[in-house]
């Protein structure tokens, strides 16, 4: 394999042993350096468009993990602003970032990223429950991880907080907003069903106590066509005897206490007109 092709497979930056494992010879490496491949330091090779941050990961013998590796594994992530670098640091390393402990599984074979299992375990131990929950539920929901696996590796008193988060993991949510809203309501003692099907309306994000419908909108404004569709869905739901509340990203993520208070107020003032037809 040519050095440039091997480097692309490895994400743009690699140490010599990783390139050798892909069949790259030392002579080929010398030719590639003369042709323009970068050599930031002895034993490290990089394509011209490699980022400084990627080069530093390889130089410091670090792996991305926890919240920093969420995007690589296509996990749901809360838009809570920039996060500091979270890494697993090789022994005797002294690179920057928040360092996480040992690995249970081999890292990604070609990129400086910890395995999905280790990323989730580190997040459960490190991040606020909201961030960890949406990451785990995303992986569990698509079948890439199980709660049982994570529980087996989170025994002991120091992992009590992480196990508590796993107790709220469920299936059926189609977005991180559904996951968080459902969990906030259940923590308040409210009965919640996700993806409830209502004849003439379709699937509704959440139904609380069998009569209060909750629709959730993402962080961006919808197009007018979708707005009109949502209004019609709300009207049909009201005709059928249901009450509809709508919440947005800022409500669910940044002000959940007010959202829950509002829902509890509505539930306290009204008895259900009828139970959902199944």
Give the count of beta carbons closer than 10 Å to the beta carbon of residue 164.
11
CA distance 118 to 140: 14
CB-based contact 67:83 (threshold 8 Å):
yes
Alpha helices by DSSP H, the chain = 3-9, 16-21, 26-35, 52-59, 116-126, 129-141, 147-152, 160-166, 176-187, 224-239, 249, 256-269
CA distance 55 to 57: 5
Tell me what pLDDT residue 238 has: 59
Tell me what pLDDT residue 277 has: 46
CA distance 62 to 91: 10
User: Can you say how many angstroms the Cα of residue 264 is from the centroid of all Cα atoms in its chain?
Assistant: 29
CA distance 122 to 126: 6
CB-based contact 65:119 (threshold 8 Å):
yes
CA distance 72 to 50: 16
CB-based contact 253:78 (threshold 8 Å):
yes
Task: Provide the whole-model pTM.
Answer: 0.87
User: Can you say how many angstroms the Cα of residue 24 is from the centroid of all Cα atoms in its chain?
Assistant: 35
- β-strand pairing of 98-100 with 192-198: unpaired
Phi, psi of 80 (to 5 degrees): -110, 25
Return the DSSP state at 174: S
Tell me what pLDDT residue 81 has: 61
Report the half-sphere exposure of 54 (CA within 13 A, side-chain side).
18
Tell me what pLDDT residue 198 has: 84
Give me the tens of pLDDT residue by residue for the chain, a chain 278 residues long: 999 999 999 999 999 999 999 999 999 999 999 999 999 999 999 999 999 999 999 999 999 999 999 999 999 999 756 788 999 998 766 788 999 988 999 999 889 999 999 999 999 999 999 999 999 999 999 999 999 999 999 999 899 999 999 999 998 889 999 999 999 999 999 999 998 888 887 889 999 999 999 999 875 545 645 555 665 666 556 555 688 999 999 999 999 999 999 999 999 987 555 555 44
Tell me what pLDDT residue 251 has: 95
DSSP letter for each residue of 110-152: SSSB--HHHHHHHHHHHS-HHHHHHHHHHHHHTTS--HHHHHH
């Amino acid at each position: 394999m040519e050095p440039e092709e091997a480097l692309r497979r490895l994400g743009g930056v690699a140490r010599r042993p990783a390139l050798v494992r892909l069949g790259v010879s030392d002579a080929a490496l010398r030719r590639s350096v003369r042709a323009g491949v970068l050599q930031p330091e002895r034993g490290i090779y990089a394509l011209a468009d490699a980022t400084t941050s990627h080069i530093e990961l390889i130089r410091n013998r670090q792996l991305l993990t926890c919240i920093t590796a969420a995007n690589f594994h296509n996990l749901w992530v809360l838009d809570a602003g920039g996060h500091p670098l979270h890494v697993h640091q090789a022994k005797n390393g002294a690179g920057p970032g928040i360092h996480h402990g040992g690995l249970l599984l081999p890292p990604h074979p070609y990129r400086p990223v910890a395995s999905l299992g280790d990323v989730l375990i580190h997040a459960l131990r490190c991040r606020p429950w909201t961030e960890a929950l949406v990451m785990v539920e995303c992986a569990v929901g698509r079948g890439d991880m199980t709660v049982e696996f994570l529980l087996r590796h989170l025994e002991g008193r120091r992992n009590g907080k992480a196990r508590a988060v796993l107790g709220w993991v469920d299936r059926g949510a189609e977005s991180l907003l559904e996951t968080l809203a459902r969990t906030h309501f259940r923590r308040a003692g409210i009965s919640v069903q996700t993806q409830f099907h209502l004849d003439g309306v379709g699937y509704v994000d959440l139904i609380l106590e069998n009569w209060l419908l909750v629709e959730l909108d993402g962080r961006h404004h919808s197009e007018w066509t979708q707005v009109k569709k949502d209004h019609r869905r709300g009207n049909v739901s009201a005709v059928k005897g249901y009450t509809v509340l709508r919440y947005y990203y800022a409500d669910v993520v940044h002000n959940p206490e007010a959202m829950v208070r509002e829902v509890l107020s509505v539930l306290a003032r009204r008895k259900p007109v009828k139970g959902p037809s199944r």
